[in-house]
Amino acid sequence: MSEKVLMKGNEAFAEAVIRGGVRFYFGYPITPQSEIPEFMSRELPKRGGRFLQAESELGAINMAYGCGAAGGCGFISSSSPGIALMQEGMSFLCGAEVPVTLLNVSRGGPGIGSIQPGQADYNQVTRGGGNGDYRIPVFAPASIQEAVDILYEAPAIADKYRNPVMVLADGLMGQMMEPVVLPEPKEALTSATIPAAKPWAISGSEKGERSVVKSLRLQPEVLEAHVEHLYEKYAEMEQELERVECEGLEDAEVVFVAFGTMARLAREAMELLEAQGIKAGLIRPISLWPYPYSAFDKLSGKTKAVISVELSMGQMLQDIKLGVRGRVPVKLIHRVGGMLPTSLEVVEKTKKILEEVR
Amino acid sequence: MAATKLFFAGSGGQGVLTMGQMLTYAAMYADMNATWLPSYGPEMRGGTANCTVVISPDKPVSCPLIYEADDVVVMNLPSLIKFESLVKPGGNLFVNSSLIEQKATRDDINVYYVPANDIAMKLGNARTANTVMLGALVSVAPVVPVEMIYKIMEKTFSGRKAALLDINKTAFHAWKQEG
Amino acid sequence: MKPVFTVTKGMLPVSTSYCPGCTHGVAHRIIMETLDEMGLLGKTLGVAPIGCSVVAHQFMNVDMCEAAHGRAPAVASGIRRVHPEKVVFTYQGDGDLASIGMGEIVHAAARGEKFSTFFINNGIYGMTGGQMAPTTLIGQRSTTCVDGRTREQAGMPLKICELLATLDGPVYIERVALNSPAHIRAAKKAVRKAFEYQLSGKGFTFVEMLSICPTNWGLTPAKAMDWLEENMMAYYPLGVYKDLGKEAE
């Protein structure tokens, strides 16, 4: 096993995708993730890769589209407003079935909002802001180690499904340091090995049939068939990519639902509640799409309320309610704008909610 | 064993973030779990700096965010005013008395006045004030083994910076020796 | 018997979907013939734009991908990073390149990206039905300026070769026209030069092709050719705007 190293989140994220096979980075500076382009500009050229600072996020996502269409293993990182600007590209990538790994180190909104941590991109990343029928798998790790493991795996998932894959981290995780074990580097494709490995990619090589990467399908029946094909892929992703961690659901009087750093806060609140004689459980969605709806079937008859702990006005509530299906009340504990709740605050609010529902 | 929560605050350039990082490295070398979380953004440039360190000897750190701290280090007056309340009852507050004339107001906590800058000046390197303070903290609250602090010092002060190793080791013990 | 004419393998044996008289077909052909003549067909990656030529990949017989509206230079920059040894080009119209994609083309040119851009300027939005383009001339009619473009209402048409020539990134910029055999022969020479410079790693090359849109101009193809000569060439003079190739050698 490799040695443990202490790394800042943003740098660990970047190192992880390089080890996962990424050789091309396209990005535009935006707080709180600018350490990532900085790291990539230093590291990629040393490892046979290329770094390109784009003129905008719009440029970046389209560079990544070109890179992916040409068979390259590309990576983009940005933060909330930058991800918003990339939505056109996401729809194109899905329509043209081009893989890329994306990282959103999210901050507060709407608009420019703030540069402090936020989770109010939930709808943006799970529902998407691009046009058309498409889906993007989204993973929300809660520790730097988990982020490293997911980012290491993400390029392979993107390649497997020929679809973008998104990792959602909040600004806290980007700035935080935590010991991590880095995985062994994977071998990356080169321009010489791409034509055989990805025959669908455009590579300008005489490999028999020429390749065309496109999302345009002007004939309705052709486009319909294509969208149906995409949704067969998405159905497979729903089967294979759903990830969730559940704790203490058997005898929980109250169950928290939280992702990312908020899941860690909720876990501490569980400990504090237990010390006061209140059993709390936790459902931690690791994949936000596909959403782990079935985890809610594990709720026990003892559970009196499900509480979402979020840094948004309750954007995840809709999915939670789809999972809970009316069995128990669904409540919200949240802060926004870069304000962070404390675990103590979560405990106090939980006790109030329990008074209401008991 | 329960996690230890520590908080370091001061102004930019006082080595506040470094103190927290040294401790986090030492915890990692000692096979403990740890998180280091800085304040970030415009306030970084506004002259104040702070960071939170959570050290958990056995299980993973639940939460890198804290609502109270076992140990708080304040390197300048604004930090004392703002963060004295963060110390949990019975916890420790370390005040850089070289730069803070004011006394702490609470009587339910242990307050240690550490003239970190004065001690550092006496040692001949003003920039070791943060190491003096870290040494004071670890001597009162032994959250990590001293050898692991040495290990990170040896890694940090190597090569061109090797000359700084001895003075930092001396600084680390200086407060206790004076005390 | 020696054939007097062979159809290039660079064009797929299908009819194009372009309107009668449209010069997209001419532009496609001279680009693909040049690649064929240079033996580059199997080594080339093309990027099609949004606009009438969104379907260029149905006619050009090389590996191709589409780009979102205006983004072809960014897409080509990404492709170029993956395949540094191949030939890469973008094919873009005036709405695509000079309006919505102005940011991408300027930055790709400024970076000196080693690909070639062929810019089809017919002064109008074709696919969407004849709206005013950034290159529509003053007085020229379109469906969004039915009495003709005015400076007061829409400002002045953009001269892209002149604009890009102010940058230090490009090595070769030329404006050609596709309205007569002589002009088309000159255009093909420009295309060849662009690819040659790209192959020798000199930097960004750009060829603007003044083109006609008989359908949306409301003219017969023959009259449209004349209109181009009299009006477009007056505002958009043909010529070489930059040629650093010789110096670079």
For position A276, which CATH number holds?
3.40.50.920
| A-contacting chains (≥3 CB pairs under 8 Å) | B, C
Residue A205's pLDDT is 80
C-alpha A277/C-alpha A269 separation (Å) is 12
Please check whether residue C213 is in contact with residue C122, taking contact to mean a CB–CB distance below 8 angstroms.
yes
Task: Enumerate the β-bridge partners of residue C201.
Answer: none
Task: Please judge whether C68 and A211 are an interchain contact, meaning their C-beta atoms are less than 8 angstroms apart.
Answer: no
Q: Considering only the beta carbons, identify the residue of A32, A116, A268 that sits closest to B62.
A: A268
Q: Which two tokens stand for residue C191?
A: 């295309």
Same domain, A130 and A190: yes
Residue C148's pLDDT is 96
Q: Helix, strand or coil for residue C236?
A: coil
The yes-or-no verdict on residue C142 having pLDDT over 60 is: yes
Q: Considering only the beta carbons, identify the residue of B41, B61, B66 that sits closest to A115.
A: B41
Domain borders along chain C are: 24-248
Per CB-CB distance under 8 Å, the chain C contacts of A87 are none
Task: Please judge whether A26 and C85 are an interchain contact, meaning their C-beta atoms are less than 8 angstroms apart.
Answer: no
The distance of A356 to chain B (nearest Cα, Å) reads 25
Q: Considering only the beta carbons, identify the residue of A56, A60, A202 that sits closest to C45.
A: A202
Nearest residue on chain A to C108, alpha-carbon basis: A55
Task: Please judge whether A171 and B66 are an interchain contact, meaning their C-beta atoms are less than 8 angstroms apart.
Answer: no
| Residue B179: pLDDT band with limits 50, 70, 90 | low
Domain boundary among A240, A271, A291: A240
* Inter-helix orientation angle B129-140/B146-156, to 10°: 160
Interface test with chain B among A182, A268, A346, by most B beta carbons within 10 Å? A268
Q: Over the stretch C50-91, which tens digit does the pLDDT of each residue have?
A: 999 999 999 999 999 999 999 999 999 999 999 999 999 999
Same domain, A16 and A83: yes
The number of folded domains in chain A is 2
Which CATH superfamily hosts domain B4-178?
Answer: Pyruvate-ferredoxin oxidoreductase, PFOR, domain III (3.40.920.10)
Nearest residue on chain C to A76, alpha-carbon basis: C78
Mind giving me the DSSP string for B36-101?
A: EEE--SHHHHTTEEEEEEEEESSSPPS-S--SSEEEEEE-SHHHHHHHGGGEEEEEEEEEETTT--
Task: Please judge whether B63 and A344 are an interchain contact, meaning their C-beta atoms are less than 8 angstroms apart.
Answer: no
Q: Helix, strand or coil for residue A18?
A: helix
The distance of B53 to chain A (nearest Cα, Å) reads 9
Same domain, A142 and A179: yes
Q: Over the stretch A274-289, which tens digit does the pLDDT of each residue have?
A: 999 999 999 999 999 9
* Strands A254-257 vs A280-285: parallel, antiparallel or unpaired: parallel
The yes-or-no verdict on residue B106 having pLDDT over 80 is: yes
Task: Please judge whether C104 and A68 are an interchain contact, meaning their C-beta atoms are less than 8 angstroms apart.
Answer: no
Task: Please judge whether A203 and C75 are an interchain contact, meaning their C-beta atoms are less than 8 angstroms apart.
Answer: no
Q: Considering only the beta carbons, identify the residue of A177, A268, A343 that sits closest to B24.
A: A177
Same domain, A187 and A268: no
Same domain, A214 and A265: no
Q: Which residues of B touch A (CB under 8 A)?
A: 21, 24-25, 28, 33-38, 40-42, 60-68
The distance of B101 to chain A (nearest Cα, Å) reads 31
Task: Please judge whether A96 and C78 are an interchain contact, meaning their C-beta atoms are less than 8 angstroms apart.
Answer: no
Residue B61 falls in which region: left (phi positive, over 0), alpha (psi -120 to 50) or beta? beta
Task: Please judge whether A65 and C71 are an interchain contact, meaning their C-beta atoms are less than 8 angstroms apart.
Answer: yes
For residue A280, give its domain range.
245-357
Same domain, A224 and A305: no
Question: Mean pLDDT for each consecutive 10-residue tract of chain A (358 residues)?
Answer: 88 98 96 94 97 97 98 97 96 98 95 91 94 97 98 98 97 94 96 94 86 95 98 98 98 98 96 97 98 97 97 98 98 94 96 95
**pTM metric for this prediction:** 0.94
Please check whether residue A70 is in contact with residue C82, taking contact to mean a CB–CB distance below 8 angstroms.
yes
Domain boundary among A189, A217, A240: A240
The distance of B52 to chain A (nearest Cα, Å) reads 9
Task: Enumerate the β-bridge partners of residue B53.
Answer: B6, B36
| Residue B56: pLDDT band with limits 50, 70, 90 | very high
C-alpha A105/C-alpha A151 separation (Å) is 13
Per CB-CB distance under 8 Å, the chain A contacts of C57 are 212, 214
The distance of A179 to chain B (nearest Cα, Å) reads 6
Same domain, A134 and A66: yes
Residue A206's pLDDT is 77
Nearest residue on chain A to B32, alpha-carbon basis: A179
Same domain, A177 and A37: yes
Q: Considering only the beta carbons, identify the residue of B35, B66, B67 that sits closest to A176.
A: B35
Task: Please judge whether B67 and A172 are an interchain contact, meaning their C-beta atoms are less than 8 angstroms apart.
Answer: no
| Residue C247: pLDDT band with limits 50, 70, 90 | low
Q: Over the stretch C16-43, which tens digit does the pLDDT of each residue have?
A: 999 999 999 999 999 999 999 999 999 9
Same domain, A253 and A236: no
Task: Please judge whether A6 and B60 are an interchain contact, meaning their C-beta atoms are less than 8 angstroms apart.
Answer: no
Over residues C186-215, the mean pLDDT reads: 97
Domain boundary among A183, A212, A240: A240
Q: Considering only the beta carbons, identify the residue of B34, B40, B65 that sits closest to A32.
A: B40
Task: Please judge whether A343 and B36 are an interchain contact, meaning their C-beta atoms are less than 8 angstroms apart.
Answer: no
Task: Please judge whether B37 and A4 are an interchain contact, meaning their C-beta atoms are less than 8 angstroms apart.
Answer: no
Q: Nearest CA to C245 among C112, C104, C119?
A: C112
Over residues B14-19, the mean pLDDT reads: 94
Residue B13's pLDDT is 87
**Contact between chain B and chain A (3 or more Cβ pairs less than 8 Å apart):** yes
Q: Which two tokens stand for residue B106?
A: 């609470």
ipTM at complex level? 0.92
Residue B57's pLDDT is 95
The yes-or-no verdict on residue B43 having pLDDT over 60 is: no
Interface test with chain B among A176, A245, A267, A346, by most B beta carbons within 10 Å? A176
Residue B47's pLDDT is 63
Q: Classify domain C24-248 by CATH number.
A: 3.40.50.970
